[in-house]
Amino acid sequence: MPRIRPWSGAVLIGPLLLTGCTGWMPRLPELPRLPGQPERGNVRISDAGPTPPLQPSNNVIVDAVAKVGPAVVRIDTTKRVINPLGGLFGRGPTIQEQQGQGSGFITRSDGVLLTNAHVVDGASEVSVTLPDGRSFTGKVLGSDPLTDVAVVKVVATDLPVAPLGDSAKLRPGEWAIAIGNPLGLDNTVTAGIISAIQRTNAVGEGQRVPYIQTDAAVNPGNSGGPLINDRGQVIGINTAIRQAPGAGLSFAVPINVAKQIAAQIIERGYASHPYIGVRLQALTPQLAREINATTDQCRLPEVNGVVVVDVMQGSPAAKGGLKACDLIESVGGRKVRNPSEVQLAVDQGRVGEPLDVVVRRGSGTSSLEIRPAELPRQD
């Protein structure tokens, strides 16, 4: 890039000649002072009166962040992965390290914190940094990929904790405040409202989480951080975003679900999920007409609902008498309208305990007793 040499002489700007030496410069004539104009150096710029001192404001977002913010942490992870080309023709090391970052929040003063399972998944090293600058090595006590909840422990005492709220009491339109470390920017606060609750189709059918939907800005790095209400209570764990033209949509795991999963992880290192062993299909009047016209196996009512497509052999559903072509109306006393609601209702049951399932079969209705089994864990 060419270098610009400073001139030692004069620079012409408009009609005036400015020089770099200390010699003569042209002197402009003084303008006459107008009547009433103050003396030079005493010019008044504004007629406004003095501003009274600011009083402390009752900003609910500021107050809420002040309660939870000290307990929100940054989580840095290192994952060691095998390079399939490592050592072959000099294409890098056999083992490579991948760096990751997310958020979390402390729930117990002795160093227990919650985050997303995908934040710490496969991590060989976990580092936890508090807003006050303290840093600790974290140990993953366990994680549950089905709900995307994980528990991390650090060796410490007297840590700040985030108060936990009750996600069952949420209503659309309430304040929703996200705190986390998006894109490496620590302690970032964004705010919006709760757009919807019990969102069962946020990340596809058959999910086990009734997500909280918000319009608070969430980006990579926010994962695992808290979603809080205007009272400074954690109501969810920020976990997923969906990009859309004009705006993004964010989703959080309800804190009641997270507490249930975390309690199991702390107690035994993993979370247990019940299952009954069926394949389901959302039914519409149009689909019912097509099925009735093309097969004699099922005679389905032309309604919206959930139909059993297949029952696994030897499964709890098979043992309980559930059959293909059954239309599921309720599970555990809860009306169901789609496969996700069936999954969520089953997940509210307990392994080995009876679960009432009401089905429409042919022209009649049957009440079945099914005892869910424990879903095999994926190692």
Stretch 163-185: mean pLDDT, rounded?
95
Question: Percent of the chain, pLDDT > 70?
Answer: 80
- Indicate the helix (H) or strand (E) that contains 133: none
Stretch 235-255: mean pLDDT, rounded?
85
Choice among 76, 144, 148, 347 that is catalytic: 148
Choice among 143, 167, 223, 340 that is catalytic: 223
Choice among 118, 315, 356, 366 that is catalytic: 118
pTM of the model: 0.78
Long-range contacts (CB closer than 8 Å, 24 or more residues apart) made by 61-67: 61/175, 61/177, 61/189, 61/191, 61/230, 63/232, 64/175, 64/177, 64/228, 64/229, 64/230, 64/231, 64/232, 65/177, 65/179, 65/189, 65/228, 65/232, 66/232, 67/162, 67/163, 67/232
Is the pLDDT at 194 greater than 80? The verdict is yes
Report yes or no: 81 and 75 within 8 Å, Cβ to Cβ: no
Q: What is the pLDDT of residue 11?
A: 40
Stretch 23-28: mean pLDDT, rounded?
50
- Nearest Cα residue to 218 out of 241, 201, 197: 241
- Nearest Cα residue to 238 out of 204, 266, 208, 213: 213
Does the annotation mark 148 as catalytic?
yes
Give the bridge partners for 95, in sequence order.
82
Spatial separation of the C-alpha atoms in residues 77 and 102, rounded to whole Å: 8
Phi, psi of 165, rounded to the nearest 5 degrees: -100, -160
Q: What is the biggest distance separating any 2 CA atoms in the chain, rounded to whole angstroms? A: 109
Does the annotation mark 273 as catalytic?
no
What the chain holds in terms of domains, given with CATH numbers, is 68-154 (2.40.10.10), 167-268 (2.40.10.10), 274-374 (2.30.42.10)
Q: What is the pLDDT of residue 201?
A: 75
Q: Which stretch of 90-94, 102-106, 229-233, 254-258 has the lowest confidence by average pLDDT? A: 90-94
Task: Specify the residue for token string 């009750």.
Answer: 166
How many residues are listed for the chain in this entry? 379
- Nearest Cα residue to 184 out of 71, 100, 65: 100
Is the pLDDT at 90 greater than 70? The verdict is no
